[in-house]
Amino acid sequence: MICLVGFMGAGKSSALVELAAHGLSTADIDRLVETSEGLPVAEIFSTRGEEAFRAAEEREILAALGTGELDAIALGGGSLGSEAVREALSSSDHTVVWIDVDSETAWRRVRASTRPLAQDRDAFEALHAERQASYRAVADVVLPAVTHRVWDRALSSVRLLDRLPEGTRMLWASSRNGEYPVFVGRGLLGSPVFDQEAGVMPGDGRSFLFTDEDVGPIYGAGVGETEASVTVPPGEGAKTMAEFERSQRELTRLGMTRSDLLIALGGGVVGDLAGFCAHTYQRGVPVVQVPTTLVSQVDSSYGGKTGVDLPEGKNYVGAFHLPSAVIADVDTLATLPDAELTAGLAEVVKTALLAGGQLWEEVRNLEPGEILGRSDLIFDCARYKCRVVEADERDTGLRAVLNLGHTVGHAIEAVTGYGRYRHGEAIALGLLAALRLSDADELRAEVHDWQERHGLPVRLDPAVNIEAVLLATGFDKKKTARGVGFVLLPEPGQPEFDCPVPDDRLRAAVEELIR
Ligand code: NAD
Ligand code: ZN
C-alpha cells in the first residue's frame, strides 16, 4: 500500500486524486475520521481536543493498514506522533511516500483555511521544522510537492520499490529541464531496476556501458543487458578532451544510435565524461548514472553537470545534461579503496554543513568507517543536492553554494597537476579555508578535528606553492566580472554565496593551511 505522509499543504489530497485517476483505490484518513466521528476535523479539535482527534486518527490508520484493502492512503500531517502508526508503517508491505513541501509553500497553500494548526505563521513554521525528522524517518520515497502531476511519471518507479531490495529509497529529482528517479540502496546492481520493462531505463533502445578499467570488471555485469561497452582508464586523467574524442569515436564504431542509451558506471570521472559524451553524441542521448564512489553517490551524479578538464582549468569544458535516472548501489563502496572512501567524506561533510539541521547533527557524530552502513546519510546528501539543483539548475544563483570549499580546493588541485590530491582531499583543505573566511572559528575547529579523525588532510603539503594557489584561485571558473565570489558559511545550514573576500584575508586563510 502507498502511504502518503507530509506536512499540511503538501498536496496529499490532490495526490490521492491523481492516484485514483491511475485506477488506485484511495482514502484520506481525515475523511475516514470525519465519517466515523460524524464531525469535521476542525470541530473535533475545538469540541473534543487534539488528543481525541489523534486517538481516532490512529485507529483509522491502523485499520486501513491492517485490512490492506486500499491501494493508497493519505495520513494527516501530525499522525506520525503515534508510535503505533510509525511501527505499522515500517512494515515492508507499505511504501511510505513523503511529499516534501517547504514551509513557505505550505503556508501559502493553507493560510486561508480553517485548519486548526494553520492559524499562526510562527507556530506553523516551528511545527514544520519539528516534523521534518519524523517524515524522514519513515519515508521510502521523497517526492517534491511542487511538481505538476508528478504521479503520471513517478508512479511506476514508486511501485517498482516493491520488487527492489528492502531498504531501497527513492527520490524524485526535478528541476527546470527535467526530472528523474534516484534510487539509493543495497543490492541494486543486478536488481530489476535495470530491466527494460521496469520503466526506469528510458526509451526502448539498446544500452551501452561507459565505465573505467577498475570498475567495469567488478560491476559491469550488474547493469542489465548491454550492447557493448566503452572503457576509459581510471582516475582524473581520463577527464580530457582527448579521452572524450576517443570515446565518442569508439561509440561510433560500436554503432550507437540516437535511440540508444548510455549507462555511466563508475565514479565522478566516468559520470562527468560519460555525461558529456551523452550530451554531445549525435546531439544528445540519454544517460543513466550508476555511481560507485562516495563522491559520486552523494554529489556528482545528480544535477546534470558534465564535462572534462583542460590543462588550464578543471571542468572548463562541459554541458548540462540531466541523467534519466540515478541508481546508487551503496554496496559498491565496499570495494572502493580506503583513500577514495575517505576523500568522499569531504563531500559528505560539505553537504551536511550546507544543509545544517539533522543532517549536520548526524554527520558531525559519524564514526570513522561508519559511512559504509549509512545509506540513509547518502540518500540525505543526494536529497539536499537535488533540492538545491531544483531551485537553480543552471547555476545562476543558489547552486553556487555547492561550491563551498571548492574555490581554494580547485586551485590546490590545479596547482598540483590533479595528481597530488584527490578531489575530496583538496576540498577538505578548501573547506577549512572557507570556514576561516566565514569567521566561523569554532566550526572550523570542529571540522578540522572531524577531518583529522576521519583521515582527511587538514594541512597542505608545504611543498605546494602558495602564490600559485592564490593565483589559481583567481582562475576558478566561478569567477565573475566582479572578481572571485566565495561561498561562506557563518553557521551550519546558513550558506552565503557570491561573497567578496579581500586578498589579504584569502592569503591568510590559505597560508594557515601549511602552518
Ligand atoms: P573517480 O571517478 O576517479 O574514482 C576514484 C577511483 O576509484 C578510480 O580509480 C575508480 O576507478 C575507482 N573506483 C570507483 N568506484 C570503485 C569501486 N566501487 N570499487 C573499486 N574502485 C572504484 O573519482 P570520484 O571521486 O568519484 O570523482 C571525482 C570527479 O568527480 C572529479 O573529476 C570531480 O570534478 C567530479 N565531480 C563532479 C561533480 C558534478 O557535479 N558533476 C561534483 C563533484 C565532483
Ligand atoms: Zn566536489
- What atom of ligand 1 comes closest to residue 239's alpha carbon? 32
pLDDT for 484: 65
Ligand 1, residues at Cβ distance < 6 Å: 212, 214-215, 218, 234-236, 239, 266-270, 272, 292-293, 295-296, 299-300, 303, 305, 315, 332, 335-336, 340, 343, 423
Q: For residue range 82-91, list pLDDT tens digits in order.
A: 999 999 999 8
How many Å lie between the centroid of ligand 2 and the Cα of residue 251? Answer: 28
Task: State the cell numbers at 461.
Answer: 603539503
Task: State the cell numbers at 254.
Answer: 560500436
pLDDT for 478: 56
Nearest CA to ligand 1 atom 42: 300
Nearest CA to ligand 1 atom 30: 268
pLDDT < 50 positions in the chain: none
How many Å lie between the centroid of ligand 2 and the Cα of residue 276? Answer: 17
SS3 labels along 309-334: EECCEEEEEEEECCCCEEEEEHHHHH
Looking at all shown ligands, the one closest to residue 348's CA atom is: 2
Task: State the cell numbers at 42.
Answer: 476542525
pLDDT for 89: 94
Beta strands in 186-252 (DSSP E): 207-212, 228-232
Q: Which amino acid is at 463?
A: A
How many Å lie between the centroid of ligand 1 and the Cα of residue 483? Answer: 30
How many Å lie between the centroid of ligand 1 and the Cα of residue 412? Answer: 18
φ, ψ at 150 (rounded to 5°)? -65, -30
Percentages helix, strand, coil for the chain (3-state, rounded to 5) are 50, 15, 30
Nearest CA to ligand 1 atom 10: 234
All residues at 6 or more sequence positions from 169 whose CB lies less than 8 Å from its CB, including other chains = 139, 140, 141, 142, 183, 184, 185, 375, 376, 379
Looking at all shown ligands, the one closest to residue 421's CA atom is: 1
Q: For residue range 5-59, list pLDDT tens digits in order.
A: 999 999 999 999 999 999 999 999 999 999 999 999 989 989 999 999 999 999 9
Task: State the cell numbers at 390.
Answer: 531544483
First-to-last alpha carbon distance for the chain, in angstroms, is 58
Looking at all shown ligands, the one closest to residue 385's CA atom is: 1
Nearest CA to ligand 1 atom 28: 268
φ, ψ at 162 (rounded to 5°)? -60, -30
Positive or negative torsion for Cα 37, 43, 45, 46: negative
Q: For residue range 214-234, list pLDDT tens digits in order.
A: 999 999 999 999 999 999 999
Q: How far is CA 147 from CA 8, 77, 144, 152, in A?
A: 16, 19, 6, 11
From edge to edge, which strands make up the β-sheet containing 2-5? 26-28, 72-74, 2-5, 95-100, 141-144, 169-175, 178-185, 325-329, 287-291, 261-266, 207-212, 228-232
All residues at 6 or more sequence positions from 87 whose CB lies less than 8 Å from its CB, including other chains = none
Ligand 1 pocket: which of 213, 219, 232, 269 to mutate (most atoms <8 Å of CB)? 269
278 and 319 in contact (C-beta within 8 Å)?
A: no
Nearest CA to ligand 1 atom 32: 269
Per DSSP bridges, beta strands 287-291 and 228-232 are unpaired
